[in-house]
Amino acid sequence: MIGFLIQRILQALMVVIAMSIIVFLGVYAIGNPIDVMIDPASDQALREALIQRYGFDRPLIEQYFVFMSNMLHGDLGESFIYRLPVLGLIMSRLPATLELALTAMLIATCLGIPLGLWAGYKPDSLSAKAIMGFSVLGFSVPSFWVGLLLIMVFAVELGWLPSGGRGPTTEVLGMNLSITSLEGWSHILLPALNLALFKLGLLIRLTRAGTVEVMSSDYVRFARAQGLSEGKVVGLHVLKNISIPIVTVFGLELGSTLAFAVVTETVFNWPGMGKLIIDSITVLDRPVMVAYLILVVFLFVMINLVVDLIYGQLDPRIRVKAAS
């Protein structure tokens, strides 16, 4: 078990290093940040001074090692634009994205799994067909359009919920959260729903496919032959067997929601990380881009590690393979 963990953490480290090189090179190739940072009318002396200050005159490889060694000391550099430490900048936006993504995943899971189970349990019923139709809409209708529609209906026409922004936040464990207050919830509901829609469609289809397969298996038939109630058959046999693909997709989706919730964040003017990275890309704010992408890689790697650990808990056969 510990060997497995160490192996996975080493792998994760390799991914982070590889990623940092790719990102560093890629961003370097995009263009010279100096052109964006200073007034084009400023003189050559100021230009030179800035280039000196940020070390752009040094070889790329040296710049990379300086960046990496700073990172190991917990210093991801300073934003060219905000003139603030990058880490603090990202961390100030992280809670907003975190609560949005988690709320969206919660909605998608709490609705998606029961609906998918039902659609797989009674695949020929009218309700199952309606659920499947809805799930197709869920992941084929563009997210920004649904977002606008939600604002039109619930914020503009009905006036039940605010159209954007984060509302009041309270500090919990050093993070500013809005889900602690009712008004915060009214702000988060629409963007979370918007973000959840795609995942909801995905989870419904995934759960249904697994359920259909497991329901026709011999062990479900055997369980029924023992007189287990249908609730027990689904709750005990089906749920545990379909959970592996669900956990996989849940992990992937959680990662991508955290990293790339940018469309929803833009539509609902949600001050999360997605908006930060898009702004940084437009102004070539290299430290923010690099640090952000490394953080994303780190998130994905951590989520996948947790998913792998959960696999072992869900399926004993995987545990055996990992041990051998």
Query: Footprint of another protein on this chain (CB under 8 A)?
Result: 124, 217-219, 221-229, 232, 236-237, 240-241, 314-317, 320
What CA–CA distance (Å, rounded) separates 210 from 255?
Answer: 23
Measured from the CB atom, is 129 or 232 closer to another protein?
232
The nearest distance, CB 219 to another protein, in angstroms, is 4
In whole angstroms, how close is the CB of 231 to another protein at the nearest point?
Answer: 11
As a whole number of angstroms, the distance between CA 187 and CA 293 comes to: 27
Given the complex with another protein, which of 11 and 125 has the nearer CB atom? 125
Q: Are 299 and 259 in contact (CB under 8 A)?
A: yes
- In contact, 254 and 137? CB cutoff 8 Å: no
> Alpha-carbon distance 37 to 198, whole Å?
38
Closest to another protein by CB, 223 or 291: 223
CA distance 13 to 316: 27
Residue 85 DSSP one-character state = B
Provide the b/e sequence for 132-158 (b: ≥16 CB within 10 Å): beebeebeeeebeebbbebbeebbeee
Minimum CB distance to another protein smaller for 73 or for 321? 321
Residue 243 CA to residue 305 CA, distance in Å, equals 16
**Structure tokens given for 297:** 């890689």
CB of 250 to another protein, least distance (A): 17
Residue 152 CB, nearest distance to another protein (Å)? Answer: 44
Query: Contact, 256 vs 296, CB < 8 A?
Result: no
Q: To the nearest whole angstrom, how small is the minimum distance from the Cβ of residue 240 to another protein?
A: 5
Backbone angles phi, psi at 172, to 5 degrees: -125, 120
- Closest separation in Å from C-beta 216 to another protein: 9
Using the minimum distance from each CB to another protein, give the nearer residue, 7 or 217.
Answer: 217
Tell me the C-alpha distance between 89 and 180, whole Å: 23
CA dihedral 305, 310, 316, 321 (to 10 degrees): 0
Query: Cα(265)–Cα(104) distance, rounded to whole angstroms?
Result: 12
- Specify the residue, 15 or 318, whose C-beta has the smaller distance to another protein: 318
The nearest distance, CB 87 to another protein, in angstroms, is 42
Q: Closer to another protein at the Cβ: 69 or 125?
A: 125
Q: Of 246 and 288, which has the nearer Cβ to another protein?
A: 246
Nearest-approach distance from CB 221 to another protein, in angstroms: 6
Q: Which residues pair with 172 in a beta bridge?
A: 175
CB 243, min distance to another protein, A: 9
Residue 78's SS3 state is: strand
- State which residue, 193 or 233, has the beta carbon closest to another protein: 233
